[in-house]
Amino acid sequence: MKPDPRRTYTCSDYRDEMRLLALKRRVEREPLAEDERLRLEEEIGRLQRRMGID
């Protein structure tokens, strides 16, 4: 899904992008317990859906 060019980019959008990036990096780079990894992946999915990223 492509972003609507008429939509204003907000501080919340930026914050969501940075949070998504941090969560992805954490899952990729840190050794995590299985339940923690699953929780982070669920949060990543929620953020991606909210941002319209498929």
Answer whether residue 27 shows pLDDT above 70: yes
> What is the overall mean pLDDT for the chain?
91
Region 36-41 average pLDDT: 97
Q: What is the pLDDT of residue 3?
A: 63
Task: Check whether 6 has a pLDDT greater than 80.
Answer: no
So what's the pLDDT on residue 53?
87
E strand intervals along 1-54: none
- Check residue 25 and give its pLDDT: 97
> What's the DSSP call for residue 54?
-
Cα distance between residue 12 and residue 35, in whole Å:
28
Of 45, 54, 50, the residue nearest 23 (C-alpha): 45
Q: What is the pLDDT of residue 28?
A: 95
Burial of 26 (0-12, 13-18, 19+ CB in 10 A): middle
* Residue 26 identity: R
